[in-house]
Amino acid sequence: MKYNIAANFTQYKNEVTRLSNNENEFIQGFPTRQQIYTRTEAGHSFPEFYGYVVDGIFQTQEEADAHAPNGTYNQPGNLKIRDVDGDGVITPDDRTYIGNPHPDFTTGLRLGLEYKGFDVAATFYASALGLIV
């Protein structure tokens, strides 16, 4: 009878330190469905998700009317978008970094067993991802 066990763990850090000599420069992601969902900027990962923070769903018209104006969007059943810049109106300036696709770590485990010409193996994999919001 033979057996084997193997394990691994990996982690990496990803941070843009500089794009150019202009410290305020950023690169927007490719537009998908007429929206841009990622952004790259010094001090953040490459890339990070960039968009609106959602605080729930409007349940009633009264709740929608009391929320920061967003054109005709505020209606029951629609997403409640956070007024990030605090100006009392929902605008593109309320978009912010909301997470990144990079795992905090990945790990794996492989187990194997061989007995009289038969063998069995199992592989387990895990990836942990934290969000910023």
C-alpha torsion sign, points 68, 70, 72, 75: negative
Determine the 3-state secondary structure of 64 from DSSP: helix
C-beta of residue 50 within 8 angstroms of C-beta of residue 37: yes
CA-only gyration radius of the chain, Å = 23
- Compute the distance between CA of residue 17 and CA of residue 48 in angstroms, rounded to an integer: 14
**Of 118, 52, 116, residue with least CA distance to 82:** 52
Condensed to tens digits (0 to 9), the pLDDT of residues 70-110 reads 767 778 888 888 888 888 888 888 888 888 888 888 999 99
- The alpha carbon of 36 is separated from its chain's Cα centroid by a whole number of angstroms, namely 14
For 70-75, the CB contacts below 8 A with 24+ separation are: none
2-39 pLDDT, tens digit each: 999 999 999 888 877 777 666 666 666 656 556 667 77
Q: Model pTM?
A: 0.59
Highest mean pLDDT: which of 34-38, 53-57, 63-67?
53-57
